Amino acid sequence: MLAGIIRGSFVHSIGFRIGAMIVLVEITVSAVTGALYIGSFNAEVDRTITQRVLLPGSLMDAGLLNLDVVTDEKSMRELVGEELINAFVIGINGNIFFSLDKEYIGCPFDSVSLIDKETLTQHPTSPVVRHDLPRGSVVALTPLFGMDGRTIRFFVHIEASTAKAAALKREVLLLFLTGALIVVLSTSLIILVAFQLIIFGPLRRVLRAVRQMETGDLAARIARHDARDELGDLARAFNLMAARLRQNLEKLRRERDLVTRIMETSPVGITVADREGLITFANASAEQVLGLTRDETGGRAVNSPEWRITDFDGRPFPDENLPFYQVMRTGQPVHELRHAIEWPDGRRAFLSINGAPLFNESREVESVVFSIEDITERLRVEEEIRRLNRDLEQRVADRTAQLEAINKDLEAFSYSVSHDLRTPLRHIDGYIALLVSRFRENLPGKALHYLDSIADSARLMGQLIDDLLRFSRTGRAEMRWEHVDMNSMLDKELTQIRENNPEHQIEWDIGELPAVQGDYALLRQVWVNLLGNAVKYTGRAETAKIQVRAMEGNSDYTFVVTDNGVGFDMEYAGKLFGVFQRLHSEEEFEGSGIGLAIVQRIINRHGGRVWAESEPDRGARFYFSLPKCKEENDV
């Protein structure tokens, strides 16, 4: 049996196939070559014997040989050779004139069996050669012409044996076959030995290395690979492939170990189920969520009757809606599928499940991997948060309503107080004016100074009351939204400022300003206050420089007013927009300290914001932003 296996293995080996191919090629080449050579040799032998049997007749026809030479056996054998059988000179009348065997002289040719009667009776006019295979001879019949060259007078009939020629042909054929066999065997042996050393040996080393790798020996290598031919390239490529394969397998092993560790230590439950819906893997978190041990988990069906799967309201959950069956049916991942699970002991948990398919080589779903999260506590916390949010929203709504009522009361009180204070102030201012006009000449200078101070204070208080009323109105007045051309508005304000400050040298630098949606009167107050501040705080500059620019953002416009006035320390920037907050004394710059608070309230009501940047003695920059209208945002 082993010999049969070896023979079968050898017959199907590359060596046997290459050897058989080489032998077949050599036999084919030898056969073709032999056929050509043997055919040429046999033709040469036949040509030689033909020429020799025709030679006597040709010489007689040329007059170089007498007719009676055919009776001389020695001479004839010298001409024809030892193969000579018989020779005749036959007259045109059919009688034999000369014969190697003298007893046939004078006999008619048709009485002699040795003569080719069929050919002779045709009276050929040129030499004829016929092979007599049964007799193993060749016959030449040559006509001899008379002096006129047209009349045939005699025929020379020569017969010679072909046995020696046939023997020579067989001998040459045998020698060729023997030589060809020796050549085929020797060259085949040499070539096979060369193939063994050059090809089969290296191939066996490659095969041994491949079989070592089949057994799991990833360190297998081909030791000798220094040849500079294709086999050397193959060996080097194999070693490189083996090294990379080992690296890749090691990388895969590390990645597998990493994935395994991640799955084992993951706080999220991870399970894998096969095509039949049987759990084949579950990490520790999944076992904890499912309330099972590792031994209990393996092989359990995802829809096992040992637990009851329901929706959150306790209704039975159909199997076809389970994540496993959805993934198997569609071949697509599922996300955030939720259901409840109940155990026989009454425990109940709410689960959130994600699932994804794992495919085989045929792109068929082979198994499904799940992440399982117990969201029971999270749902409880979410419900608690929702309850607290509802309570908080209600409390905020209540508190907001209270604050709005208080704000309205405060604004109403502020308006009422401010309005009610106007009458006493008017009385004070009127009586002081009356006293001064009627009793100026009777009052001492100090008294007049006191009266002027009282009048100034009354006017200042009146301005404060007006500002307070204006501030109150900016919070209470209804917004009248319209399209506002900022360039036109600013031009009007600049004209007013120039008329009110004819001696103040100001270099205005006004950029192109966009149109906005807003309350025209309120936005005008913003420009009045900001530009008024810029003019006021640049009063000490030899030449005031005031710049107005606008910048476009994604959803709003930002306007900036820049001056070269006294500036302020950014440390106190938080006080700028408070009511009655001042960073400079009244002796330095007049004002009530409420203008910027009004600006902030107006901009806030428009959905924008306001801020400032500055350095002492280096001017200030006041910014405010206004939202774009809806159409502009859509564009």
Q: How confident is the model at residue 1 (pLDDT cuts 50, 70, 90)?
A: very low
CATH (domain of 366): 3.30.450.20
Give me 226's structure tokens.
Answer: 């220094």
In a domain, 205, yes or no: yes
- CA geometry: angle 485, 486, 489, nearest 5 deg: 90
pLDDT of residue 635: 39
- Whether 149 and 133 map to the same domain: the answer is yes
In a domain, 3, yes or no: no
In a domain, 140, yes or no: yes
- Whether 470 and 484 map to the same domain: the answer is no
Does pLDDT of 634 surpass 50?
no
Give me 511's structure tokens.
Answer: 């950029």
- Whether 46 and 144 map to the same domain: the answer is yes
Give me 432's structure tokens.
Answer: 């002081």
Rounded to 10 degrees, what is the CA torsion of 407, 409, 412, 415? Answer: -70
- Whether 57 and 206 map to the same domain: the answer is yes
Q: How confident is the model at residue 402 (pLDDT cuts 50, 70, 90)?
A: confident
Does pLDDT of 293 surpass 60?
yes
* Average pLDDT of the segment spanning 590-598: 70
What percentage of the chain reaches a pLDDT higher than 70?
A: 84
How long is the chain? 635
Q: How confident is the model at residue 514 (pLDDT cuts 50, 70, 90)?
A: very high
* Average pLDDT of the segment spanning 413-423: 64
Does pLDDT of 473 surpass 70?
no
Does pLDDT of 157 surpass 50?
yes
- Whether 542 and 502 map to the same domain: the answer is yes
Shortest CA distance to 48 belongs to which of 115, 120, 129? 129
**Domain assignment of residue 301, given as a range:** 267-374
Pick from 228-232, 310-314, 532-536, 583-587: least confident? 583-587
> In the listed set 354, 374, 394, which residue is the last one of a domain according to the structure?
374
Does pLDDT of 494 surpass 80?
yes
In a domain, 250, yes or no: yes
Strand partners, 485: none
- Whether 54 and 172 map to the same domain: the answer is yes
Residue 193 makes CB contacts below 8 A (sequence gap 6+) with none
> In the listed set 314, 344, 374, which residue is the last one of a domain according to the structure?
374
Buried b (16+ CB within 10 A) or exposed e, 470-494: bbbebbeeeeeeeebebeebbeeeb
pLDDT of residue 513: 92
Does pLDDT of 380 surpass 70?
yes
DSSP character at residue 369: E
* Average pLDDT of the segment spanning 14-24: 74
* Average pLDDT of the segment spanning 307-330: 81
pLDDT of residue 6: 40
> Distance of CA 608 to CAs 24, 133, 227, 245, 626, Å?
99, 130, 82, 65, 5
What is the C-alpha to C-alpha distance for residues 95 and 79, in angstroms, rounded to an integer? 24
Shortest CA distance to 359 belongs to which of 372, 369, 351? 369
- Whether 18 and 162 map to the same domain: the answer is yes
Top-confidence residue, 217 or 589? 217
In a domain, 9, yes or no: no
pLDDT of residue 626: 94
* Average pLDDT of the segment spanning 364-390: 86
Top-confidence residue, 366 or 228? 366
Q: How far from chain centre, in Å, is Cα 144?
A: 99
Which one-letter amino acid corresponds to residue 550? A
pLDDT of residue 476: 61
Pick from 47-51, 323-327, 514-518, 574-578: least confident? 574-578
What percentage of the chain reaches a pLDDT higher than 90?
A: 8
CATH (domain of 429): 1.10.287
pLDDT of residue 483: 92
- Whether 467 and 546 map to the same domain: the answer is no
**Beta strands 544-552 and 506-510, pairing class:** parallel
Top-confidence residue, 88 or 298? 88
pLDDT of residue 590: 59
The three-class DSSP label of residue 561 is: strand
Does pLDDT of 183 surpass 60?
yes
- Whether 190 and 41 map to the same domain: the answer is yes
Shortest CA distance to 276 belongs to which of 358, 367, 409? 367
- Whether 499 and 464 map to the same domain: the answer is no
Give me 273's structure tokens.
Answer: 């189920």
- CA geometry: angle 215, 216, 222, nearest 5 deg: 85
139 within 8 A of 158, measured Cβ to Cβ: yes
**pTM tops 0.85:** no
Number of domains in the chain: 5
Shortest CA distance to 287 belongs to which of 266, 308, 317, 303? 266
**pLDDT tens, 558-590?**
999 999 888 777 776 667 776 655 555 454 555
Does pLDDT of 7 surpass 50?
no
pLDDT of residue 561: 92
Pick from 31-35, 387-391, 501-505, 628-632: least confident? 628-632
In a domain, 81, yes or no: yes
Range with top average pLDDT, 23-32, 66-75, 181-190, 390-399: 390-399
- Whether 602 and 485 map to the same domain: the answer is yes
Does pLDDT of 460 surpass 70?
no
**pLDDT tens, 107-117?**
888 877 777 77
DSSP character at residue 115: S
* Average pLDDT of the segment spanning 6-12: 50
State whether the Cα torsion 482-486-492-498 is positive or negative. positive
In a domain, 300, yes or no: yes
> In the listed set 235, 250, 265, which residue is the last one of a domain according to the structure?
265
What is the C-alpha to C-alpha distance for residues 174 and 31, in angstroms, rounded to an integer? 13
- Whether 257 and 286 map to the same domain: the answer is no
CATH (domain of 594): 3.30.565.10
What mean pLDDT value characterizes the chain? 79
What is the C-alpha to C-alpha distance for residues 624 and 619, in angstroms, rounded to an integer? 17
10 within 8 A of 16, measured Cβ to Cβ: yes
In a domain, 2, yes or no: no
> Distance of CA 120 to CAs 86, 89, 148, 162, Å?
15, 12, 22, 21
Does pLDDT of 170 surpass 70?
yes
pLDDT of residue 633: 44
Top-confidence residue, 212 or 136? 136
Burial of 534 (0-12, 13-18, 19+ CB in 10 A): buried
Q: How confident is the model at residue 548 (pLDDT cuts 50, 70, 90)?
A: very high
